[in-house]
Each structure stands twice: as structure tokens, then as C-alpha cells.
Amino acid sequence: MSVRAGIVVTGTEVLTGRVADRNGPWVADRLLELGIELAHITICGDRSSDIEAQLGFLRSEGVDLVVTTGGLGPTADDMTVATVARFCGRQLVLDPAMEATIAEIVARWMARFPDIDTRAVQAANRKQAMVPEGATVLHPVGTAPGVVIAGSDGPTIIVLPGPPKELQGMWSAAVATEAVQQAITGRTAYQQDTVRMFGVAESGLAETLRAAEESVPGFTCLEITTCLRRGELEMVTRYEPAGAQAYRGLMELVRERHGAAVFSEDGSTVDEQVAGLLSGRRIATAESCTAGMLAARLTDRAGSSAYVTGGVVAYANEAKIALLDVDPALIAEHGAVSAEVAEAMAAGAIRRFGVDSAVAITGVAGPGGGTEDKPVGTVWFCVMIADGPTTTRRVQVPGERPDVRERSTTVAMHLLRRALLDARAQT
């Protein structure tokens, strides 16, 4: 049996696109892990009638579980709890214990702001302690408690706060409630596998999937989605346990046709793989058009100081010369966007930082600066491993300025991964 769910995201700032919703995707992932099928995400502003309409829609769609996010704050435009209560035909009642809990949390914060209006704070605490009759109350992570209301003739509803940290901190308590456990019993356990590829077109994979439809027994049990992400191609396959054999068959075909492009079958990202391969090494970057994006990406991960020494953003030619010892004659002869300058930048980074590995990127990000020979999107890369290979590569990166910069960073990560694998194989 399949359990279906819906997510109601509330908040005018999310509806109007001023804030990107981080809760929908996060909850979607958690539902998937629980084997719950997500049918709909709906987004509306802080308007009671719109929230209620979306709840009604999800009930009419017969979902078993609804998760709402946002609208639990102390101000008047936070109305989700009251709206859900009305939707379920429950009274709002004061939870005195919760009021005391919130007052205690707020008191700790208020110590830092001595001139705050105490009466306003008390009113805010009380509003947040009003809960639907018979609901299970979830202990606040910030100041707003969450709420779970068991469905009788409708879905069970989990009401969670909008700040992602508060929502995430409350999730496991919400799932552990009896009401939620009852709503999701009998669910099928799905398996989900992610394969990541780099250097294969979406149409090429589509052709392979069409071939698999003919040649792989049980192919129809597999629910496959493919998408391009940051220049990589991702294939996610979801299947019931009985589909495992079909998935193995599919993967044989994928490896046969796109083996060189497949870099991850276990869900790992290129960032994780590069981090592992850099263990015991020291790396520096030399970036022109990406101007620090590769260094920022390499240091995204906690613990990256173990292998990242630093980098030079050599945006202007003077910077390439002064900070990376690039010979001005090279730039004059070949141009700043050239194999020669990319190699000189990488060599300069290795020498100046005293490291064993370096990546250099120099290209035309646009919109200006393109020529017939080197149109916008022309990017030269050089990966230099002191005790291993040097890779110099020209790539025509598609898209506009932001795409060229972002994709170039991804290309660099993959060239680096390949070079580090080769270096490891040589030793």
C-alpha cells in the first residue's frame, strides 16, 4: 500500500519568491526515506482562506498525511495553527504548561534586551501556546511549539514552524507521535538509488533508457527520473524491493554505454570524492573567470583546512603576473585565456603556496570579452599534480555569465578528481 502526503508551505515572502523555500525539499526527502509518496507541494501567502483551500484540496485528493510549514510566530500574520484547528473542527485552547515553557525560553533571550515591552512579550507567548484541542504538542526548538492533529475523516496534519532549523529539530518528534505512526503504517519500503554522470548528454541517457525498456526484464517496475544539475546528469531510480534485479540490469547497460561518465553510484558527490582524494595532499587554486568560486567550493566542507592551503584570484592580468609569476610575454603572445597561461597559473600556484596540487581556470565568462576565436564560454583549465600528471583542457562552457562561472567550477572539480585518481593509480 502506498501512503501519500502533501506539503503546505505558507508565507507571503516564499509565495512571492523573495525567499527560497528550503523546507519543502527537506521534508520531501524525509518523506521519501519513510517510504511515503509525496503527491503535492502547495505554496500560499499568509492568508487564512488560501491556507484552508489548500488543506481542502489535499483532503479531497485523499492524502494520508499533510505537513504544513510556517506561520507559527507571535505576530498577527502567523495564522497557521488557528487555520488548521478550524479546518479540523477543533477549538483552540491555552496549554498553560507550554505557556510557561515558552516564557522560560523567551526570558533567557530577553536578558540580552533589557528595554523590551514585557506586556507585548506576554501576549506573544500566550498566542504561541494556543493549541488545537486534543492535538499532540511538539516541544519548541525556537519559541514556537509544533502540533500534530490525528486525522479522523481527513489526513493527519503535522504543523511545523518556518525557520528551517526549528522545523528540522522538531521533525523526529513529529514522526514519533502516535498519530503520525498510525497514518503511515502499511507503507511500502522503497529503495532509491542515485547515479551521477559527467560528460554525457541527457538525450544520450534517454536513448539508453529506451533501449533498457526493451532489453531489461522488469524495467517497468523502475521509476526513473533524470535531471541536469550544476552541469552533471543525475539519474534517480525508485523501486520496490522486487525491482532490485531490474535495477541491476539497468545499471549493467548504463555502465556499458556510459561507463566513463559515471562517477558515482552510491549517492556520493564529486565534492565528497575530491575531498577524500585530497587527503594527505595540499592544494591551491589560481582562478580568473571563476574568481574564488572554486576555492569557496573546496572549502565548503568542514575539515577542508587539512588540504586547502589557499588560492589566488587573478582577475586582472597584473594579478596573474604579480601573484602567480605568469610571464607577461605569454599573455601578450597567447592571450590570458590560453593553455600557456593556464599552465603558468597552475605552476605559479604550486610554487607560491608550496603545495603539491593546483587547479587553474582562465576563461571568458561574458557578456563582453568574447572574440571569434575565443567566444564567451571559452575556458582553459590546468590541473597540475607535482608527483603526477598535468591536465590542460579547453572547454566550451554553455550558457551566460553565471552559468559559465558555475559550470566551470564543476568542470574543474571533475578534472581534479580524474587527475587525483590517475596520480593515485601511478603510485
Q: Which of 3, 5, 36, 43 binds a second copy (CB under 8 A)?
A: 43
CB of 308 to a second copy, least distance (A): 5
Q: Which of 33, 104, 178, 207 binds a second copy (CB under 8 A)?
A: 207
CB of 132 to a second copy, least distance (A): 24
CB of 13 to a second copy, least distance (A): 4
To 10 degrees, the CA torsion angle through 21, 22, 24, 28?
160
52 binds a second copy (CB under 8 A): no
User: 94 pairs with which residues across the strands?
Assistant: 130
Looking at the Cβ atoms of 104 and 400, the one nearer to a second copy is 400
Looking at the Cβ atoms of 300 and 427, the one nearer to a second copy is 300
Stretch that binds a second copy, among 17-25, 170-178, 339-347, 410-418 (CB under 8 A): 17-25
CB of 425 to a second copy, least distance (A): 28
Residues 228-257 interacting with a second copy (rule: CB under 8 A): 229, 234, 236
Looking at the Cβ atoms of 90 and 401, the one nearer to a second copy is 401
**Amino acid type, 378:** T
Looking at the Cβ atoms of 64 and 287, the one nearer to a second copy is 287
Looking at the Cβ atoms of 56 and 134, the one nearer to a second copy is 56
Question: What does the alpha-carbon distance between residue 132 and residue 52 come to, in Å, rounded to a whole number?
Answer: 15
**Which run of H or E residues covers position 136?**
strand 136-138
Task: Print the binding letters for residues 397-416 with a second copy: x by CB under 8 A, - otherwise.
Answer: ----xx--x-----------
Residues near 222 by beta carbon (within 8 Å), at least 6 away in sequence = 237, 238, 239, 243, 246, 247, 250
Looking at the Cβ atoms of 174 and 336, the one nearer to a second copy is 336
Residue 100 burial (CB count, 10 A): 12
Question: What does the alpha-carbon distance between residue 158 and residue 179 come to, in Å, rounded to a whole number?
Answer: 9
Question: What does the alpha-carbon distance between residue 322 and residue 336 come to, in Å, rounded to a whole number?
Answer: 14
118 binds a second copy (CB under 8 A): no
CA nearest to 285, candidates 421, 198, 415, 418:
415
Q: Which of 97, 107, 176, 206 binds a second copy (CB under 8 A)?
A: 206
CB of 21 to a second copy, least distance (A): 8
Task: Print the binding letters for residues 73-112 with a second copy: x by CB under 8 A, - otherwise.
Answer: --x-x-----------------------------------
Looking at the Cβ atoms of 119 and 152, the one nearer to a second copy is 119
CB of 31 to a second copy, least distance (A): 9
CB of 59 to a second copy, least distance (A): 11
Task: Print the binding letters for residues 164-203 with a second copy: x by CB under 8 A, - otherwise.
Answer: ---------------------------------------x
211 binds a second copy (CB under 8 A): no
Residues 284-303 interacting with a second copy (rule: CB under 8 A): 284-285, 287, 290-296, 298-300, 302-303
Residue 114 burial (CB count, 10 A): 6
DSSP letter for each residue of 230-291 = TTEEEEEEEE-GGGHHHHHHHHHHHHHHHTTTEEESSS--HHHHHHHHTTT--EEEEESTTT
Contact present, 299 and 284 (Cβ < 8 Å): no
Looking at the Cβ atoms of 235 and 415, the one nearer to a second copy is 235
- In which order are the strands placed within the sheet that holds 262-264? 223-229, 232-239, 191-197, 262-264
CA nearest to 205, candidates 231, 238, 229, 227:
227
Question: What does the alpha-carbon distance between residue 148 and residue 361 come to, in Å, rounded to a whole number?
Answer: 52
Stretch that binds a second copy, among 246-254, 262-270, 307-315, 337-345 (CB under 8 A): 307-315
CB of 44 to a second copy, least distance (A): 5
User: Distance of alpha carbon 334 from its chain centroid, rounded?
Assistant: 39
Q: Cα(first)–Cα(last) distance of the chain, in Å?
A: 53
**How many residues belong to the site for a second copy (CB under 8 A)?**
81
Phi, psi of 423 (to 5 degrees): -60, -40
DSSP 421: H
319 binds a second copy (CB under 8 A): yes
CA nearest to 420, candidates 380, 384, 394:
384
Q: Which of 3, 5, 36, 41 binds a second copy (CB under 8 A)?
A: 41
CB of 22 to a second copy, least distance (A): 9
